[in-house]
Structure formats: structure tokens, C-alpha cells
Amino acid sequence: MDSAPSHLEVRKDKTWGGRFTKELDPVVKKFNSSLHFDYVLYREDIEGSKIHALMLEKQSLISKAEADSIINTLDDIQREIEGGKHILDETYEDIHMFIEQLLIERIGDTGKKLHTGRSRNDQVALDMRLYSRRQASLILKKLEDLINTLKNLSYKHRQNMMPGYTHLQQAQPISLGQYLDAYTSMFKRDLNRLKNCCQTMNYSPLGAGAFAGSKLPLDRLFVAQELGFDGIIESTIDAVSDRDYLIELSSIISICMMHLSRLSEDFIIWSSTEFNFIKLDDSFSTGSSLMPNKKNPDVLELIRGKTGRVFGNLMSILTIMKGLPLAYNKDMQEDKEGFFDSVNTILSSLSVITPFLNSVVFNTDIMRESMQSDLLRATEVLEQLVLQGIPFRDAHHKVGKWILQAIESEKSLKEIAQQEGVNLEW
Ligand code: ARG
């Protein structure tokens, strides 16, 4: 029997070779390949493919033996990837092609059936949703740890007074606990945003095919249920074209990094010789290669710096998507590197900030003593006058005058108020 004509063979490096008469130019091959970064999706790709195979079996599109063989071989491939057995470079176009080719090499025609009713467009959309969901739950967990740490520290320091600042000028006394509560409140908002986003994005694109669905009797709902989705994305065109969830997550990550960066900035200021509000633990600070005296808050500066990169990733994905006609365009392969980077960056930042906070020593005596005189309590005095019936604007003016007098005569606000017949209780 003649061997099959070459256009019916599935080539080692590409599964779509039928209509092509030439090999891909090596420069294009390298340029086109995303395997060196999208390999991180291998788990999601295999998870999705296994359920897709089960669905094909349920719908009698493949036999039980074929489904079993596909699933077992995919499990083997996963173990091998995790064992570092494969070189994931540009030899293959992407992680989806790589896994499918391995499958076909091992189980031949049965392997060729896996892609029935599926396109890489809905496949990659599924993988990215599964990846986003998994990473979001890791971020959630780490955010909860941070919030708990802040809550504990806040309780511990609920009575330790410090100057509060506006315009980086001493403004009113607050407790260190009150200050830490602000960050708890910010990170709780991030947590809620993340939870909401997880709900919004939890719909399955699989079964959308390239974009127009399929005439095959696929069961989209079965796949969605088996993969833990709340339903399917009804519009098959939207299912493959949508990257809103990546934009939303990138934006939530950016906001959370902005919060981490502000916290870092506060603590950098507090760790300066001039402030000396906190003492950095040796295991969370670094030295200078030249100046033996230095102890630097590198961890905090890195969080602040990485935040800039994460903002850049958000701008990238927004810009990549803004001009794309429906449905899939290869531009969308560029959704990954920046997003993976943002996810990894927030995970590593959260992993370091929580133990950092637990290691920091708060110099509460210095904080309290740094409250310059009793001028910081001017607002309290003003409110006392208001309670005595003086109109707010008049009271404000009056206390302002007392402050001036206090500064000029180097007296305390309390003394000046007393001279004016108002007794302050401190
Ligand atoms: N690697 C591609 C991506 O990440 C997979 C989808 C390819 N689809 C296609 N029609 N070429 O977007």
C-alpha cells in the first residue's frame, strides 16, 4: 500500500500544514513561537484537553478507549513536563501545539482526534481563564495573610500615638493602629475587587471553535461544569475575542501594587535617619558595596519600582486590544508576557511584604516624642470651641491667632488658650 501523501501527514512541528507547500522560514518560526513563555499554561492546557476528550466521548465523537488513551497520555506528558524532561523552545509554535504533537507522536490517530470541534482560539481563551482563576486564588490567599498581619499589628499599636501627616507636614495626632487600619481598608478593597472579578470571568469559552461555533454535537455546558465554571460565554465570537478579564485583573493588580507602593514609600521615609520611626530587620534589608555604614530598604524600593512595570503591563494589554477587529487576531498572543509578569510580581511582592511587616520594629517612643509641642492638637481645640457655640470659621481664626502667638512667644497652645480663658484638658 502506498504511503499517505505528504499533505495528509501531520508534520512534527505544525499541525496545520495541509495547505502549505513550503517549510516556515526559520526566522518566522522563531518570531511566531510563544512556547518559551506560554509553556506556563501546560497544566491548564492539559486540564482543558482532558475534559474536552471526556465531552467528545460523552457525545460519541470518540470512543471510551480513545478518550482513556488521550487522558492517560496527557497525564504522562504533564508528569514529564513537571519532571523537566522537555525542552520548551521555539521548535514548536506554542504550548497547545507542543502538547498535541507529543500526544500524536505517542498515540497516533487517536491523538489526532483530540482537537475535534476545537480551535486554538477557544483553547487558548480557556487556558488563560483557567490560569487567571488559579493565580487569582493565590493572590487572594496572600492578600488575606497581609490583611491579617496588618490587623494584628494595628491591634497591638492601637494606643501608640504618632504624628499624622498631610503634605508630609505634621497635622494631627493619630495612633499607629489607626494608620495601619488605613492600609487594611485599602487591601480589603483589593480583595473584594479580586473576588468580584473572579465571578465575572468564571464562564467557559470552550466550544466557540475559531469563533463561529461548530456543527458538531458538542456539549459546551458539560465542559463548563466539569471545569468549575458558572456557565458558558454564549456568544462564540465574544468567547474567543474577549480579554476583558485580563485587563480587569491587570488593573486590580495595578491598584493593589499602587497600595503596596504607598506603604513602601511611607516605610522608606520612616526608616530614614531623620524620622527613625522604624528599625529594619537585618534579614529584610541590604548593605552597600562601598559604604560600610549603610542599611538600605531595598525590599520596599523594589516593590515601589516593580509597581511601575506592572502599570506598564496594564497599558500594554489595553493598547494591544484597542484596535483589534473581531474575532481572534495573533496580536492577542501578546496578552501573555505582561500579564504573567504582573501576576508573578504581585505574588512575590505580597510574599515579601507580609514577613517584612512582621519583622519591622516600630520605634513607638520616637513616634510619640516626635509630635512637636501641642500645636498638633489645634484641630481638637478648634472643635472644642465649636462645641461651646463659636461659629466654625470664627473658631478657626481664633485658634490660628493663638498658634501664631504660641510660636512667637515660644509657649504651648495650652498656655495661650489659658491666657484667653479657655481650659484645655491635657
Ligand atoms: N499561541 C496563540 C495565542 O496565544 C494561540 C492561538 C493561535 N490561534 C491562531 N489562530 N493562530 O494567541
| pLDDT tens string 262-301 | 999 999 999 999 999 999 999 998 888 888 888 899 999 9
pLDDT for the residue numbered 294 = 85
Computed over every residue of the chain, the mean pLDDT equals: 94
Cell of 330: 495573533
What's the gap between Cα 314 and its chain centre? Answer: 11
Side-chain half-sphere of 321: how many Cα atoms within 13 Å? 17
Instruction: Give the chain's domain count.
Output: 3
State yes or no: pLDDT of 126 exceeds 60. yes
pLDDT for the residue numbered 15 = 64
What's the gap between Cα 7 and its chain centre? Answer: 45
CATH number at residue 88: 1.10.275.10
Return the best residue to mutate from 32, 124, 324, 335 for the ligand 1 pocket (most ligand atoms within 8 A of CB).
124
Cell of 308: 511601575
Structural domain includes residue 9: no
User: What's the one-letter identity of residue 208?
Assistant: A
The residue whose CA is least distant from atom 11 of ligand 1 is 330
3-state secondary structure of 165: strand
185 is catalytic: no
What is the C-alpha separation between 10 and 30, in angstroms, rounded?
20
Number of H helices, E strands in the chain: 17, 4
pLDDT for the residue numbered 90 = 82
Q: Please give the residue range of the domain that contains residue 99.
A: 33-112
- Domain identity same for 397 and 260: no
Domain boundary among 112, 144, 175: 112
278-279 vs 361-362, strand pairing mode? antiparallel
Residues near 348 by beta carbon (within 8 Å), at least 6 away in sequence: none
Q: How many angstroms does the Cα of residue 120 sit away from the middle of ligand 1?
A: 6
Predicted TM-score of the model (pTM): 0.93
Please give the backbone phi and psi of residue 135, each rounded to the nearest 5 degrees, phi first: -70, -40
Cell of 295: 542599611
Helix axes 120-156, 176-201, angle to 10 degrees: 160
Structural domain includes residue 270: yes
What is the C-alpha separation between 194 and 166, in angstroms, rounded?
30
Return the best residue to mutate from 31, 97, 330 for the ligand 1 pocket (most ligand atoms within 8 A of CB).
330
Structural domain includes residue 85: yes
Burial class (CB in 10 A: 0-12, 13-18, 19+), 170: middle
Q: Is the torsion defined by CA of 187, 192, 196, 202 positive or negative?
A: positive
Q: Are 339 and 249 in contact (CB under 8 A)?
A: yes
Confidence grade of residue 14 (pLDDT, cut at 50, 70, 90): low
- Domain identity same for 71 and 124: no
- Domain identity same for 166 and 60: no
State yes or no: pLDDT of 2 exceeds 50. no
Structural domain includes residue 24: no
> Which residues approach ligand 1 with their CB closer than 6 A?
34, 38, 94, 120-121, 124, 328, 330, 332-333
Distances (CA, A) of 167 to 102, 164, 171, 376, 392: 61, 10, 9, 14, 23
What is the radius of gyration, based on Cα positions, of the chain?
Answer: 30
Ligand 1 atom nearest residue 128's Cα:
4
- Domain identity same for 181 and 72: no
Q: How many angstroms does the Cα of residue 123 sit away from the middle of ligand 1?
A: 9
Beta strands, E only, 195-282: 278-279
Cell of 21: 507547500
Please give the backbone phi and psi of residue 233, each rounded to the nearest 5 degrees, phi first: -85, 110
For residue 242, the 8-state DSSP code is -
52 is catalytic: no
Q: What is the pLDDT of residues 127-141, one digit of tens each?
A: 999 999 999 999 999
Nearest to 53 by CA among 73, 39, 35, 78: 73
The residue whose CA is least distant from atom 3 of ligand 1 is 333
Catalytic residue among 167, 214, 251, 289: 167
Give the CA angle between residues 244, 248, 249 to the nearest 5°.
Answer: 120
CATH number at residue 379: 1.10.40.30
